[in-house]
Every structure is written in structure tokens, then in C-alpha cells.
């Protein structure tokens, strides 16, 4: 019952879980401010003094104390980024597991031998985030339809493949056992695909979402995800602004936590055949959450984004799972990988053809500028609106 202990004051009562959440958000906001717009040493010093003054004159009132600590935590985040001496992105493997590099290369080679091009490159993209071999024209149609997020390995991608495994296994075993099998699948997936920094981060986000949503309550899940994000940002502050995979992971999983419950309530009377509705709601929730980020990176708004994502995203878990099994099967016995790969090829061909058709429509996308300030504002408004709506529906 630790989470129910409260910090009390003259005007406000705070749950410890709420205080932790706000402090983590303040740290992340500090890193974001320093990396996106810059926070000088003079500004950091001024904020530090302001925060200390607030604490000194708070008279132990909880709301003022919290405000002071939020300012100091924001300052810590900004200072952490300013003093971090890290490259933009490190994809080096941990020492002692160089064998994973070989295994990852063998896995990609197995996918390439089991599935024809360009589908093999597309599947390697959604499984590994390896976009180098994807043809330029294919990347462009993904850009025009705002479906490029599919090609970036993220916590959402990891979560949907585990959720697909879980949904399939509950028919033949208890849900608790199926849950642990899906966890093992994530770990095996991470190892077989090379355990690069981006894949490990995505796996952590996916695992935390599974554990928190499967065994905890919503605020536990929220704190777990934000804590994991804050820890990864602390060790490499530059991932917050300079690594699209991390950003997609963070926003997509928050979308599953906040937007998905709202959409689920709005569609409560809709039939759910083979859990397809749940899968579609998860994909749309994640898409809404990452939309501001995609608008910033690709400087365009796709008028066909919604139909493209509705028609394509529900098949991503199946393509990922079949692609993974095809690569794994090909490592064991190539004809087995090719047999599974044929189904993966057919489903991925459907996705590619749909995206190509929609991208070719007149005015499929509009070009515009969407800077980081607008991204932050849009994300904040989305989370605030989803939070309010979720609380409203929970009280009905």
C-alpha cells in the first residue's frame, strides 16, 4: 500500500506516486528544454536560486514544496544535458556479447533468403529498424502516408507483437502462462535481432507496458513507463530529441496508456471479432500519440494518414510475428523459413500496395513546418485531453 501514502499540506494532498510522476516529468522537461531550445548556464543558475528560495519560504506547505522541487528537478535535467558528453546515438553492443552481432546478421540474411524483395527489406525494417536497404521510392510513399513510424523499431512495435502472441496463446493455455510466454518472445526477439541500443530500449518499454498493464494499475504503468524513460534519458540525454525510435516508443506507449482507454469506451458497443477491434484501437491510439512527432520530422501532413493506418496497422503484428518466425525458421531449416515467409510476403505485399495506392492519390499530403515547440504543445494537449476524458468515463 506504499503508493497510497500521502504528502499533506495546508491546501493540497498528494499521493507519493503523483509526486514521483511530476518529478520525473520535470526532469524530462528540463532535458527537452536544454536539447530543443537551449538553457544557458545563467538561466540554470537563476532557476536554481529561484527553486531554493521557494523551498526556503514554503513553510512546509505541500503545494509550494512540490513547486520548488519541480523547479530544481527541471534544472537538474537541463544541467544533465548540458554536461553530457555523448554521441548523438550509440548503437554499440555491450561487451562480451559480440556473438549477437553475428546472430543478427545471420537473422537478416535468413529473412532475405526466405522472403523476396522489397518485402524482405520492409520486414527487416519493422523488425530491426534497419531502413538502409529499403528502396528510396518505398520510403517516400511511407512518408506521404504518415506510416513511416512502422519502420522505426519502438516500444509499440514490441508491444503489439507480444500482444499478438498473447492473444493467440490464450486459446490453448491459461492467460498467466501465455503472458510469460509473450515476455520470453520479447527477450528472444531482442537477442536474435542483435540487442542494439535502440532494440533494447524498445524492448524495455514494451516489457514495462506488458508488466504494468498485466499486473498493475494504470498509475503504476504510467510511473513505470515514465521512470524507464527518465533513466534511459539520464544515461543518454540526447535520445530525447535526436533518436526517433526512442521518441516513438515513449509517445506510443503513453498513447496506449491514455488514449486507448478513451477509444475503448467510445467503441464499447462495437463487436470485437477475434480481438481485431482491440488491436485496431491500440494501433490508432499509438498513431494519434505519435502524429505530432511525425509531422515535425517529415514536415508534412498526410490527408490519407487515417485510412492508411486503419488499413495497414492492424496487420503489423502478424507481419512482424511471421517475419520473425520466418527468420528464425530459416536459421534452422531454410525451406521452413521460406514456407512461413510466403505468408509474411503476402501480408506485407498487401500493406505495401495499400500504401502505394493511397500515396499516389492527388493531395495525399501537404507540406508545412512543425517545430519542437508545437510538438511539445500538441503532445501536452493530447495527454491532458485524454487524461480528462479517461477520468470522466471512469466515473460514469
Residue ranges per structural domain of the chain:
2-82, 99-394
- Residue 124, φ and ψ in degrees, nearest 5: -60, -30
Rounded average pLDDT over 276-297: 77
Burial 179-217 (b: 16+ CB within 10 A, else e): beebbebbeebbbbbbbbbbbbbbbbbbbbbbebbeeee
- Residue 44, φ and ψ in degrees, nearest 5: -65, -45
Asked whether the predicted pLDDT for residue 156 surpasses 70, the reply is no
Asked whether the predicted pLDDT for residue 217 surpasses 70, the reply is no
Q: How far apart are CA 59 and CA 157, in angstroms?
A: 48
Per-residue pLDDT reduced to its tens digit, 15-51 = 677 788 888 888 888 888 887 777 777 877 888 888 7
Report residue 346's pLDDT band, with 50, 70 and 90 as the boundaries. Answer: very high
Rounded average pLDDT over 188-197: 70
CA-based radius of gyration for the chain: 22
Q: Are 81 and 298 in contact (CB under 8 A)?
A: no
Residues β-bridged to residue 6: 15
Asked whether the predicted pLDDT for residue 211 surpasses 80, the reply is no
The pTM (predicted TM-score) of the whole model is 0.65
- pLDDT at residue 355, as a whole number: 93
Q: Which residue has the higher pLDDT, 80 or 16?
A: 80
Amino acid at each position: 500500500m506504499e503508493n497510497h501514502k500521502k504528502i499533506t499540506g495546508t491546501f493540497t494532498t498528494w499521493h507519493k506516486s503523483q509526486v514521483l510522476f511530476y518529478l520525473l516529468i520535470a526532469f524530462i522537461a528540463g532535458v527537452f528544454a536544454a536539447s530543443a531550445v537551449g538553457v544557458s548556464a545563467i538561466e540554470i543558475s537563476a532557476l536554481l536560486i529561484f527553486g531554493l528560495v521557494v523551498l526556503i519560504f514554503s513553510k512546509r506547505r505541500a503545494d509550494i514544496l512540490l513547486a520548488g522541487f519541480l523547479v530544481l528537478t527541471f534544472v537538474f535535467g537541463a544541467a544533465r544535458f548540458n554536461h553530457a558528453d555523448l554521441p548523438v546515438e550509440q548503437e554499440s553492443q555491450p561487451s562480451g556479447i559480440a556473438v549477437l552481432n553475428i546472430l543478427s546478421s545471420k537473422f537478416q540474411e535468413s529473412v532475405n533468403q526466405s522472403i523476396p524483395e522489397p518485402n524482405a527489406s520492409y520486414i527487416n525494417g519493422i523488425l530491426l529498424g534497419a531502413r538502409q536497404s529499403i528502396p528510396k521510392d518505398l520510403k517516400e510513399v511511407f512518408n506521404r502516408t504518415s506510416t513511416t513510424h512502422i519502420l522505426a523499431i519502438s516500444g509499440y512495435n514490441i508491444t503489439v507483437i507480444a500482444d499478438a502472441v498473447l492473444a493467440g496463446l490464450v486459446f490453448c493455455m491459461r492467460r498467466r502462462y501465455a503472458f510469460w510466454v509473450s515476455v520470453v518472445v520479447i527477450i528472444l526477439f531482442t537477442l536474435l535481432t542483435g540487442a542494439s541500443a535502440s532494440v533494447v530500449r524498445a524492448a524495455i518499454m514494451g516489457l514495462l507496458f506488458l508488466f504494468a498493464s498485466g499486473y498493475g494499475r494504470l498509475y503504476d504503468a504510467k510511473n513505470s513507463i515514465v521512470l524507464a524513460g527518465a533513466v534511459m534519458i539520464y544515461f543518454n540525454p540526447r535520445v530525447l530529441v535526436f533518436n526517433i525510435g526512442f521518441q516513438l516508443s515513449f509517445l506510443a506507449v503513453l498513447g496506449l496508456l491514455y488514449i486507448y482507454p478513451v477509444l475503448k469506451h467510445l467503441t464499447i458497443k462495437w463487436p470485437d471479432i477475434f480481438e481485431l477491434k482491440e488491436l485496431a484501437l491500440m494501433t490508432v491510439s499509438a498513431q494519434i500519440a505519435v502524429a505530432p512527432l511525425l509531422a515535425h520530422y517529415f514536415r508534412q501532413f498526410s490527408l490519407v494518414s487515417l485510412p492508411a493506418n486503419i488499413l495497414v496497422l492492424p496487420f503489423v503484428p502478424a507481419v512482424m510475428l511471421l517475419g520473425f518466425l520466418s527468420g528464425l525458421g530459416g536459421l534452422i531449416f531454410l525451406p521452413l523459413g521460406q514456407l512461413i515467409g510466403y505468408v509474411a510476403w503476402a501480408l506485407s505485399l498487401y500493406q505495401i500496395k495499400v500504401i502505394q495506392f493511397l500515396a499516389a492519390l492527388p493531395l495525399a499530403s501537404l507540406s508545412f513546418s512543425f517545430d519542437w515547440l508545437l510538438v511539445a504543445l500538441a503532445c501536452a494537449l493530447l495527454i491532458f485531453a485524454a487524461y480528462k476524458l479517461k477520468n470522466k468515463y471512469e466515473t460514469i
